[in-house]
Amino acid sequence: MTNFRYSKSSAGYLLHKTSLLDGNKQNLEKNGVIAALYRKQPLRTHCKNCEAPFPPQSAPDFTSHSIDYYFCRNCEHLNGMHQDTAEFANALYADSDEINYHEAYTADETDAYQSRVSDIYVPKVDFLLEVVGSEGKTANMEVLDIGSGAGHFVEALRSRNIPVRGLEISGNAVNYGNRMMGEDILCQVEYKELLDGISASKASVVTMIGVLEHLAEPREVLAVIKDNRDIRYLYLVLPVVSLAIFLEMFFQDSFNRVLGGGHTHLYSRKSLAHILDEFGFDSISEWWFGADIPDLIRFGQIELGRASASDYVKDLWEQKFRGICDKLQSVIDHEHFCSEIHIVAKKRSF
C-alpha cells in the first residue's frame, strides 16, 4: 500500500529560482540550442518507457518549443519524437563548451551552496529517512546516488550522517561539488563505469534526484539496479506530466523548465507505475508537489513586461498571487497534476 504526502511551502523554491525569471532570454536560447540538436537525431519508433511500437506515421500529439511529442497509448508515457542518442547525451551532460548543462548548479559560492542544500535537498533526505525508517531499515543504511551533479543531495545526506557515494558523468560538476563539500565524495565516471558501479555497489538505497528522465537508456540502468541483490530501495525525484507542460505550450516565449532542454520525455503517473512494476519495484510512499503556480506567476510577469505594463501592475500581479500561491498549488498537488513527484519504491524480492 502506498502512502501519500502532498505539497510544501514554495518559499525555498522561489528564493533559489530567481534566475528563471531574470535569465529567461538566456535560458530560452540555451534550450533552443538543445532543441536544434535533438531534432537532428533519428525519429523514435518505440515508446522510451514500455517499448511499445508507435503506429506507422504517427502524428505528434502536440508541439512545444519546436519539439514534437507523442503520448504512448499503452503506458501514457510522453515521448519526444526523436531518439536520445549517445551523441545527444554526450553533448548535454559531458563537459561541453556549447552546452554547460550544470551551469545553474555550479555558480554558487559556499554559503549559497549550503543554503540550497538546506532549503531544497535536506527535506528530500528527510522524506527518504522517514519512509525507510518506518520500515526499520535505517540502521547500516548506505546510499548510492546516481547522477549526483554538483552533489547537493549528497551533501544533504552527509548532513544527516548517512554514508553515501555519488557517481556523476560531468567532471566539472564533480570538481565543483567536491570543492564545496571539502572532500572527494563524488566520483566522475563514464556511462559503462556507471553501470559497473551500480552492479558492484553494496548500498541498500539507490537515489536518482532529477536523473531518470535524463538517462539515454533508463531501462538499462533499472535492469542493473534490479539485478543487484543488495539494493532494497529506489528513491526517485523527477518531473512528470502536469499542468506545467500545458502552461509552457501556452507561453512559448517563456523558459520551459519542465518539458524542454534535457527533458525530452516525461513520465506520467501510469508510465512510472508501469516501469517500476516491470523492474520489480512497488511504490511505498509518494510526495507530490510542484511549482506549476510559481511557473504561472513567472509567465505572467514575462508577458506583462512584453506588454509594457507599469511597475504598479507588475507588483499587483505578483502580490496577489504570492498570497494564494501555495493554496492553489496544493489543489493541483492533490490531483496528481503537479510538476514533480518524490517516490520511494521497494524491491519486491531481495
Least confident window among 99-113, 215-229, 273-287, 293-307: 99-113
Average pLDDT over every residue of 33-48:
96
The pLDDT confidence band at residue 91, using thresholds 50, 70 and 90, is confident
Distances (CA, A) of 316 to 5, 19, 254, 321: 32, 21, 20, 9
* pLDDT higher than threshold 80 for residue 15: no
The pLDDT confidence band at residue 14, using thresholds 50, 70 and 90, is confident
Q: What is the residue-wise DSSP string for 197-214? A: HHHH---SEEEEES-GGG
pLDDT, residue 19, reads 85
Give every strand in the sheet of 143-146, ordered side by side.
3-6, 281-288, 340-347, 233-239, 205-209, 143-146, 164-168, 186-188
Distance CA 189, CA 167 (A): 6
- Cell numbers linked to 243: 499542468
Q: What is the pTM of this model?
A: 0.94
CATH C-level class of 3-347: alpha beta
- Cell numbers linked to 89: 547525451
- Average pLDDT of the chain is 94
Report pLDDT digits (tens) over 264-317. Answer: 999 999 999 999 999 999 999 999 999 999 999 999 999 999 999 999 999 999
Higher pLDDT, 39 or 94: 39
- 65 contact partners, CB below 8 Å, separation of at least 6: 31, 32, 35, 248, 252, 256, 259, 260
* pLDDT higher than threshold 90 for residue 222: yes
- 196 contact partners, CB below 8 Å, separation of at least 6: none
pLDDT, residue 103, reads 60
- 237 contact partners, CB below 8 Å, separation of at least 6: 124, 208, 209, 210, 340, 341, 342, 343
pLDDT, residue 349, reads 76
- Of 236, 244, 241, the residue nearest 218 (C-alpha): 236
Average pLDDT over every residue of 162-178:
95
The pLDDT confidence band at residue 100, using thresholds 50, 70 and 90, is low
Higher pLDDT, 231 or 19: 231
* pLDDT higher than threshold 60 for residue 28: yes
* pLDDT higher than threshold 90 for residue 204: yes
Least confident window among 3-17, 28-42, 85-99: 85-99
pLDDT, residue 98, reads 55
Report pLDDT digits (tens) over 142-152. Answer: 999 999 999 99
Higher pLDDT, 138 or 148: 148
H-state helical runs in 103-190 = 110-116, 122-134, 152-159, 171-181
Q: Give 262's DSSP letter.
A: T
Average pLDDT over every residue of 240-260:
97
Average pLDDT over every residue of 104-121:
84
Burial class (CB in 10 A: 0-12, 13-18, 19+), 326: middle
List the domain boundaries for the chain: 3-347
The pLDDT confidence band at residue 105, using thresholds 50, 70 and 90, is low
Average pLDDT over every residue of 321-332:
95
